[in-house]
């Protein structure tokens, strides 16, 4: 995906742009960024993960959502569209925006070259302020590499890296797992 900056807008102007264009945008401090250009490889990895999680979470209090559901990070004011969101328990939506989720338990981003640094850096800073968030997973799309960040009881984050298709990522906070050979199914890796 790539992000194109649009000149400063109010929140209502941001919503109007999304409605008018049908394109997802991030909104932060008056800046609007069009999120466009996900590759076939990116979309296939996202589809593989959603299929796996949906099957595992069917009888649980957790729900998995694709990138069409907006996430509001109340503490920082960022509105964004994670590649995959999992929310557990009662779903909380913005009072003014019932299409905007407030309480994700697990967020997953498939890295794209143009915004990889953002997903690992500033975006993760925003995500860490979500009190319900327990898991942040970033997944490379060009090679087998995943970074799993787990919130600890002392509010620190533990990083666990995965490098092999034979490995399985345990997502204990949502009672699920991801086998990397399933995540990367149909993907030719470098």
Pull the structure tokens for residue 81: 């569209």
| pLDDT score for 3 | 52
Q: What does the pLDDT look like over 31-57, one tens digit per residue?
A: 888 887 789 999 999 999 999 999 999
Q: What does the pLDDT look like over 53-97, one tens digit per residue?
A: 999 999 999 999 999 999 999 999 999 999 999 999 999 998 777
Q: Give the CATH number of domain 38-183.
A: 3.90.1570.10
Give 14's DSSP letter.
H
Q: Where are any strands of DSSP class E within 58-128?
A: 62-65, 70-73, 78-80, 84-88, 100-101, 106-110
Domain ranges across the chain: 1-37, 38-183
């Amino acid at each position: 995906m790539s992000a194109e900056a649009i000149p400063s807008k109010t929140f209502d102007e941001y919503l109007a742009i999304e409605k008018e264009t049908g394109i997802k945008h991030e909104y932060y401090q008056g800046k609007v960024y069009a999120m466009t250009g996900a590759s076939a490889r990116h979309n296939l990895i996202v589809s593989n993960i959603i299929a796996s999680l949906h099957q595992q979470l069917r009888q649980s209090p957790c729900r998995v959502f694709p990138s069409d559901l907006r996430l509001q990070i109340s503490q920082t004011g960022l509105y964004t569209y994670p590649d995959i969101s999992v929310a557990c328990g009662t779903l909380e939506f913005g009072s003014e925006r019932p299409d905007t989720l407030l309480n994700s338990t697990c967020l997953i981003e498939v890295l794209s070259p143009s915004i990889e640094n953002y997903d690992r850096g500033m975006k993760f800073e925003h995500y860490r302020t979500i009190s319900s968030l327990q898991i942040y997973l970033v997944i490379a799309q060009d090679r087998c590499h995943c970074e799993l960040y787990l919130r600890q009881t002392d509010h620190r984050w533990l990083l666990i890296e995965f490098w092999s298709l034979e490995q399985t990522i345990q997502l204990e906070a949502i009672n699920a797992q991801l086998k990397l050979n399933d995540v990367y199914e149909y993907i030719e890796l470098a």
